[in-house]
Amino acid sequence: MTHIQLLGTGGTIASRDSGGTGSVATDAATDLARAEYGELRVTARDVLTTNSYRLTLGDLRLIAEATQEALVDRGNDGVVVTHGTDTLEETAFLLDLVHRSPKTVVLTGSQQPADSPAPDGPRNVEEAVLAAASPGLHNSGVLISFNGTVRSARGARKAHTTASSPFQGGAEVAHMAGDELVVTATPQRHHPPLPLPSAAFDTTRVEIVTAYPGATPDLLDFAVQFGAQAVVLAGTGVGNAGPGFAENVAQAVESGCAVVLSTRAPWGPVVPLYGNGGGTDLVAAGAIPSGDLNPFQARILAALLLSHGTPAAELPWAFRAHL
């Protein structure tokens, strides 16, 4: 019988009303899944029980360690991680960066709490279990399964606060057709896996600064002065920022703080095209284009590389190797 290990971390799927003061993650992993789904057997254990907006990089490291432990266990054929949707895209991307097993890891959660009149968690868990067990999805790395759609972790992001299908982006690899999982694509993994995060990951400072009309580089300077090891600049459009940013990016890089150039636009790559302080000038000043990575996943990659001791001078090459 195929065996799937479920790892609980909390989130809405494990939350119940706490007496009129809002939902709080309380349910154990064993409450989230049945023991068997047809020919599939599921065992569950808790890694964390918290809402994902409270997670730290240290918490993400614990999830990565628990996932790796489950993957190397020969008794497990796949892994499901239940997680809050707020920051699921960051955890999923971290897990994908360090994934080196043919077994599939699938993250899922819910938009309705466990005590909702119509909770969506049980269905999402069942579909995630099917995806984790599917032979057609072996060697696919880390996936996100939600409301009948399975997509790659890389490039995915939460795009709606309340919709039953909150995630978009990435590449769709499977979907549910009735009770059957239909595999439509298998991601090709061209990026070498990185080592698991070390304890240094917990305290790696990578901040995000957003560009907008009238923005000044003061927040960028503040981040550098108060110990940021890198800053992700969420630029406008294809990766631009206003007056003063190019000069301050150069100063940040000169001081040893890396700057990664991403975009605040929901979809599309960073393509340096514009001068007069735009993306061309920012890259010339030392900013590292993030390709298709959104600011939040770009931050995870930068933090992981820096925590492994990648020197600032080598970060551009190391970063590009994983785009």
Q: Are strands 40-50 and 78-82 parallel, antiparallel or unpaired?
A: unpaired
Q: How far apart are CA 157 and CA 99, in angstroms?
A: 19
The answer to whether 221 is annotated as binding is no
Nearest of 195, 173, 153 to residue 293 by alpha carbon: 153
Q: Please say whether the beta carbons of 147 and 132 come within 8 A.
A: no
Whether residue 23 contacts residue 120, with contact meaning beta carbons closer than 8 Å, is answered with: no
- Spatial contact of 201 and 229, defined as CB atoms under 8 Å apart: no
Interhelix angle for 88-97 vs 295-307, to 10°? Answer: 40
Cβ neighbourhood burial of 315 (10 Å; 0-12, 13-18, 19+): buried
Of residues 9, 12, 104, 263, which has the active-site annotation? Answer: 12
145 is in an annotated binding site: no
Dmax over CA atoms of the chain, in Å, equals 62
52 is in an annotated binding site: yes
CB 151 within 8 Å of CB 173: yes
The span from the CA of 279 to the CA of 281, in Å, is 5
User: Cβ(145)–Cβ(124) under 8 Å?
Assistant: yes
Contacts of 201 (CB under 8 A, 6+ apart): 57, 58, 60, 61, 303, 304, 307
Residue among 52, 262, 269, 288 at smallest CA distance from 169: 269
| Calpha distance 12→86 (Å, rounded) | 9
Q: Is 85 a catalytic residue?
A: yes
To the query of whether residue 12 is one of the catalytic residues in this protein, the response is yes
**Residue showing tokens 């600049």:** 233
Catalytic, out of 9, 67, 82, 85: 85
Annotated binding-site positions? 52, 85-86
- Residue ranges of the annotated binding site for substrate are 52, 85-86
As annotated, the active-site residues are: 12, 85
